[in-house]
Amino acid sequence: MAFAGGGRLAAAVSRSGGLGLIGGGYGDPAWLEAQFRAAHGHAVGVGFITWSLRKSPSLLTDVLVHKPAAVMLSFGDPRPFAAEVRAAGARLICQCQDMEHVMDAVDVGADAVVAQGAEAGGHGKLRGAISFIPEAADYIRATAPDTLLLAAGGFADGRGLAAALMLGADGVLMGTRLWASSEALVHPRHHAAIIETDGDGTIRTRVADIARQLPWPRGFTARIRRNAFTDRWHGREEELESKVSAEAPRYRTAFAEGDPENTGVWFGEAAGLIRSIEPAEAIVERITAEALACLKRYS
């Protein structure tokens, strides 16, 4: 969760029994330093957008000084960074959006693989979680049985966690539900927007990346809230590209002001399951208890 998943949120998740991740995103050295300080020494991990990290590989070297428990790499080949992650004593997590990615993660010896369905907020591809997770589970069981599998994409309550376990995952990676936490670095107006939005209120699109002038690789789109910005530009991507010199500053200003209508608001289909902004520890503890109750009910 680039820009939203800071050290305070990561520490809260880790305190409650999960593994919190600092969202390293595109890489800002000063911001990353500040967020590791905000984690106050708790065992947390960090995630990077891999294709962007390749432009500034020293970011990884700098972060590993903080001894993160894990490094998650997403949206690119993890091979250039795997050895350095391991040498620092961190676990390697690879987030995957299709079976080719899963095979690459196993090949590089990832400690954990995340099967990310298209329901997820932010960037991803087209696989739906309900078939992707068991397919990934079967492959990992046959080729790398000691590798953990985590499910992502639409998981926001105990029912989802229990379902992911039944599909063959060892746990879940939650984004949207923790984006909607009091520790997340999210503008209050964007938090208000997720409470007002149901699961039909998001869209997969390229328009936010065009407005931000970020060169995302072909095949990846972002799931964001459907709003005036997406209504105006989705399907008119070439026109947006031609006007980006004027539109990019408007987008950035709207984001800084927390405008929920004229910028990207970064959450997924799990919005329809979220009714309030709560502390992360309460969220994790409740989801764990709900999942245990579900599993006991059907055992």
Candidate CATH numbers 3.20.20.70, 3.30.70.260, 3.30.43.10, 3.40.50.2300; the one for domain 7-185+278-297: 3.20.20.70
pTM above 0.75, yes or no: yes
pLDDT of 203 above 80: yes
Residue 251's SS3 state is helix
Flag whether pLDDT at 299 surpasses 90.
Answer: no
Q: What pLDDT, in 10s, does the model give residues 264-281?
A: 999 999 999 999 999 999
Q: Mean pLDDT over all residues of the chain?
A: 97
Which CA distances in Å does 170 have to 83, 151, 160, 166? 25, 8, 12, 9
Please give the share of the chain, as a percent, with pLDDT higher than 90: 97
Angle at the Cα of 17 from the Cα atoms of 87 and 141, rounded to 5 degrees = 60
How far apart are the C-alpha atoms of 164 and 166, rounded to whole Å? 5
Residue 246: the pLDDT is: 97
Local structure of residue 270 (DSSP, 8 states): G
pLDDT above 90 (res 161): yes
Domain assignments of the chain as residue spans, ordered by start: 7-185+278-297, 188-256
Is the pLDDT reported for residue 7 higher than 90? Answer: yes
For 22, 87, 143, the CA distances from 83, given in Å and listed in that order, are 21, 6, 21
Alpha carbon separation from 278 to 117, 174, 196, 297 (Å, rounded): 25, 14, 15, 27
Are 285 and 141 in contact, with CB atoms under 8 Å apart? no
Distance CA 175, CA 5 (A): 9
Say whether pLDDT at 298 is over 90: no
**Alpha carbon of residue 165 to chain centroid:** 19
Pairing of strands 221-225, 122-124: antiparallel
- Decide which of 1 and 160 is more confident: 160
Q: pLDDT tens digit string along 54-97?
A: 999 999 999 999 999 999 999 999 999 999 999 999 999 999 99
- pLDDT tens digits, 95-145: 999 999 999 999 999 999 999 999 999 999 999 999 999 999 999 999 999
Q: What is the largest CA-CA distance in the chain?
A: 58
Question: With 80 as the cut, is the pLDDT of residue 23 above it?
Answer: yes
Q: Which secondary-structure segment (H or E) carries 205?
A: strand 202-205
Looking at residue 118, what is its pLDDT? 98
